[in-house]
Amino acid sequence: MQWDAIFAATAVVLGVGAGLLLAAVTLPGVWLMLLVAVGVKLWQPEMLSWWTIGVGLGLALLGEVIEAVASAVGARKFGASAWGAGGSIVGAIVGAVLGTFVPVPVVGTLVGAVVGAGLGALAAERLIKKRSIQEAGKAAAGAAIGRVVATAIKVAIAAAVGLMLVVGVLLAGV
């Protein structure tokens, strides 16, 4: 067993750990994992296959699509208009960014994204579509639920990609 192979495997494991933490706070953790994996592949070609990295890339892209539309889908399922769905997407982004400045980083970002999705849908439904507070509130709840589901799915995808990368390294014989 060579030290450079052990170092490369350790880099993948640490990259996966950091990526999971980032994904949990709605940051691009899967992309960090893949960046580390590509770096290791270029440095130690026998450590991972391009197929493994490609599957991880496909899962990462799927996660991005799910994350982008989950609040909107949740809002629509609870009766929001297209404006409310769009407001939920904008609200989730703004809420996550603003929540990052809360002293408790993980909680602030997550709560900010969920609350932002709900407030974005609520504002669009009330101000643009002129819906009642009950209708707008229902749409806002759907947007917030959609955001929670999106985060859970994104963390699950990050875990799957991370597991795949770690198993790939272990199968390389390190």
DSSP string, 79-91: T--HHHHHHHHHH
Question: What's the CA gap between 105 and 50, in Å, rounded?
Answer: 34
Backbone angles phi and psi of 7, in degrees to 5:
-65, -40
For 104-157, how does the pLDDT look when each residue is reduced to its tens digit (9 = 90+)?
767 888 889 899 999 999 999 999 999 999 999 999 999 899 889 988 999 999
User: Token pair of 36, please?
Assistant: 């580390």
For 23-59, how does the pLDDT look when each residue is reduced to its tens digit (9 = 90+)?
887 788 999 999 999 999 999 998 899 999 999 999 9
Among candidates 50, 19, 54, which has minimal Cα distance to 33?
A: 19
pLDDT at 174: 57
What is the CB-side half-sphere exposure of residue 90 using CA atoms within 13 A?
12
**Comparing 5-9, 44-48, 58-62, 102-106, which segment has the lowest mean pLDDT?**
102-106
pLDDT of residue 71 exceeding 80, the answer is: no
Residues sharing a CB contact under 8 Å with residue 19, sequence separation 6 or more, in sequence order = 29, 30, 31, 32, 33, 36, 158, 161, 162
Range of the domain at 73: 3-171
pLDDT of residue 1 exceeding 60, the answer is: no
As for how many domains the chain has, the answer is 1
Give the single-character DSSP code of 48.
S
Among candidates 91, 78, 86, 77, which has minimal Cα distance to 128?
A: 86
